[in-house]
Structure 1
Amino acid sequence: MLHTRTHGGPDAQGAPLYDFSTNSNACGPCPQALAAVQAADATRYPDASYTALRAVLADFYAVAPWRIVLAGSASEFIFRITAWARQQGARTVGLPTHAYGDYAHAAQAWGLGVAEASAQADLVWACEPSSPLGQAHSQALGDVLNRADGTVVLDSAYAPLRLSGLPTVDDVQRQQLWQLFSPNKSLGLTGVRAAFAIAPLGAEAAVQQLEALAPSWVLGAHGAALLMAWTHADTQRWLEDSLRTLVGWKQRQTDLLHAAGWTVQPSDTPFFCARPPAAWDTVSLCVALRVHGIKLRDATSFGLPGWVRLGVLPPAAQDALMQQLLYGD
């Protein structure tokens, strides 16, 4: 039986006109990254070892090249490292209270039970800033990081989109865990699937084992071009400029929702969770709005029934949403 997963973005009805359901940077696509993807040579295989790409990413993050593990997407890496952990004898997984569903999906696929306390799990997932809340990781990582065993993965997909707040994991602690990055969200190019992880110090054997679990050419030419563009100075300047724009858009969007009687949770990112007035059912609301080309992400699948997650969109999209919320047809 096909397992149905819940995600934001286009659905069976196509691409929404105003898509609040994804965490993609609404200032995108980044022109520099888009140009690199469009110029990618799709007539040839990439270098199967991705030698130049690994070197550039390693230089950008100031790590040794062996620590760069390329992945077809963040989801692909989630499933691969879960499979690897199971091979190494893992039996339990630690999950954030509210989190991206693929952590649990991968654990279930490989027969890992969910630990009551993350600090006791063989494989621990953390995400900061988190999704759907866009907040600091809700569970302290100190006890986990002080362990001599186990595998800890910090999903840093939204770290480049941080608008406020500070990380709870310092640079020294980062060297003890796996860090997962998927820049396509920050660049507004989520349709280009590409990601990479930075391995902890001393994990050479684990890196080799993870590489053995990967298919040949885990990245196509377009994904490799996206990751290469990520390291360029002009791409990073565009990202910095976009964050300033998103700060203003976010303030406007939250002000409008507050004025309409919604409860808005604080977040450090250009997405957040909000709850409509008590009389509204979020499932019915999402269905009704979708008819008008507006898509929100119901947060029930994140363990937050009665809430929705909204990405920050430009003022025109915000006005369209408020028009439907306040006046309907």
Structure 2
Amino acid sequence: SEGVEPESILDFSVSTNPLPPHPEVERAVARAAFDRYPDSSSEALRRAIAEANAFSPEEVLVTNGLAQAIVLLAFAFCDRGSRALVASPAFGEYEAASRLAGAEVLFVPAREEEGFAFPAQRLMHAVRAHRPALVWVCSPNNPTGAAPSREEAVSLLRVCEDEGALLLLDEAYVNFAPPGVSARGLLPSPNLLLLRSMTKDYGLTGLRLGYILGATGLLRPLRALQPPWSVNACAQAAGEEALRRNAYYEAQWREVRSLTEWMASKLRALGYAPSPPSANFILFKVGDTAALKEFLWRERILVRDCASFGLPGYVRVGVRSEAENNRLIECISLFKER
């Protein structure tokens, strides 16, 4: 409404890979066939994902981003009148999809006074008390960055197995996290599915690409529900080529981790208390978020107000390039001095 060109905005409100794609990924998109329907099963990409994760292709379902995966999971495994647990704060689509499928949604929130640590014990207690159909956990969490330890993930899965719940670990940000955060080693299990986002890992935001890892029997009803040709030819081509260039992206993920550590240190130096950096974004409390947002917008900078996550007074900033991160820190410093 202000006539601002999108290219002039520094958008720290999103949390995807901020670094440029491999040139061959762009060329693969340009070569994709536009004159015929895409492979409805994403067979070549499915095989590439399976190989990269040491799974069989039958244990992989490629989706049109994780938003589609979340809807498929809710409708496949939530019956009307069932319950879904959400470890919160969390991505709003877990709740929206579960309610749309007819489930009652219950929340197990991380506590501010505990530094938003993963609420493992309270979540396990809730699984035993409510016997939900689904348990939604984002690991690392968006927006706090918290993740269950290996021991907590194992214990939670055991409780879900005992109570007949399906544990859904959304690992959309796991490649930006320190090594060892992924629960991939807990598969296969009849009570666990992992969600992954190539949109975020490989910076394919405009193409929408994700996948689910898990036991063949759990993926079967999802395949039946998924609309045909869900994943377009450009997304499939980009995903295949990105996996061929994984060393390039692994180097980017290491760089992003370094950039995140740097930004957290600068925010601490300004007197803020950012969450421990364990993804490609940082959560910190500013108090008057409206004032900060207004101040930054004058410089055409966007940050994410976390009131929508139930965290008023907090903002989340996604990491961008070194120069752009410097610009943000300079502007926040000026905001503090005003």
Give the aligned partner of residue 86 of structure 1. 78
In the TM superposition, what whole-angstrom CA distance separates every residue of 1:45-104 from its partner, at most 9, and x where no partner exists?
Answer: 1123333232222222222222221211100110111011135x6611010121111101
Q: Kindly state the Cα deviation for residue 270 of structure 1 after the two structures are TM-superposed.
A: 2.1
Give the aligned partner of residue 154 of structure 1. 169
Structure 1: 5+ residue stretches without partners = 1-11
Q: CA RMSD in A?
A: 2.5
Q: How does 1:54-203 map to 2 (within 5 A)?
A: 54-87=46-79, 91-115=82-106, 117-119=126-128, 120-137=131-148, 141-147=156-162, 149-162=164-177, 164=178, 166-167=180-181, 169=183, 171-173=185-187, 175-176=189-190, 177-200=192-215, 203=216
Contact 1:90–1:123, Cα closer than 8 Å, also in 2: no
Distance verdict in 2 for CA 1:99–1:286, change over 3 Å: same
Contact 1:16–1:293, Cα closer than 8 Å, also in 2: yes
CA distance in 1, matches of 2:186, 2:332: 47
Contact 2:78–2:133, Cα closer than 8 Å, also in 1: no
Q: Kindly state the Cα deviation for residue 168 of structure 1 after the two structures are TM-superposed.
A: 6.8
- Out of 30, 33, 38, the position equivalent to 1:38 is 30
The number of equivalent residue pairs is 308
Moved beyond 6 Å, runs of 4+: none
Give the aligned partner of residue 53 of structure 1. 45
Q: Kindly state the Cα deviation for residue 286 of structure 1 after the two structures are TM-superposed.
A: 1.9
In the TM superposition, what whole-angstrom CA distance separates every residue of 1:97-131 from its partner, at most 9, and x where no partner exists?
Answer: 21111101111222211236245311111121121
Give % identity: 28
Q: Kindly state the Cα deviation for residue 265 of structure 1 after the two structures are TM-superposed.
A: 1.2
Task: Give the AA of the match of 1:179.
Answer: L
Task: Give the AA of the match of 2:213.
Answer: I
CA distance in 2, matches of 1:247, 1:86: 36
In the TM superposition, what whole-angstrom CA distance separates every residue of 1:193-228 from its partner, at most 9, and x where no partner exists?
Answer: 11111122xx42x43322221111011111111221
CA distance in 2, matches of 1:292, 1:215: 43
Contact 2:136–2:170, Cα closer than 8 Å, also in 1: yes
1:58 match: secondary structure: helix
CA distance in 1, matches of 2:265, 2:273: 11
CA distance in 1, matches of 2:67, 2:264: 30
2:198 match: secondary structure: coil
Q: Kindly state the Cα deviation for residue 16 of structure 1 after the two structures are TM-superposed.
A: 6.0
Contact 1:124–1:153, Cα closer than 8 Å, also in 2: yes
Contact 1:95–1:118, Cα closer than 8 Å, also in 2: no
* Residues 1:222 and 2:238 aligned together: no
* Residues 1:286 and 2:297 aligned together: no
CA distance in 2, matches of 1:193, 1:150: 28
Task: Give the AA of the match of 1:172.
Answer: L
* Residues 1:258 and 2:265 aligned together: no
Task: Give the AA of the match of 1:171.
Answer: G
Distance verdict in 2 for CA 1:314–1:51, change over 3 Å: closer
In the TM superposition, what whole-angstrom CA distance separates every residue of 1:273-318 from its partner, at most 9, and x where no partner exists?
Answer: 0122xxx411332243234211111111222221111111223222
In the TM superposition, what whole-angstrom CA distance separates every residue of 1:116-168 from its partner, at most 9, and x where no partner exists?
Answer: 62453111111211211222139752443432622221111111222x26327
Contact 2:196–2:210, Cα closer than 8 Å, also in 1: yes
Give the aligned partner of residue 5 of structure 1. none
Give the TM-score taking structure 1 as reference length.
0.84
CA distance in 1, matches of 2:61, 2:18: 28
CA distance in 2, matches of 1:77, 1:254: 32
Task: Give the AA of the match of 1:305.
Answer: P
CA distance in 2, matches of 1:174, 1:16: 46
Give the TM-score taking structure 2 as reference length.
0.82
CA distance in 2, matches of 1:231, 1:208: 25
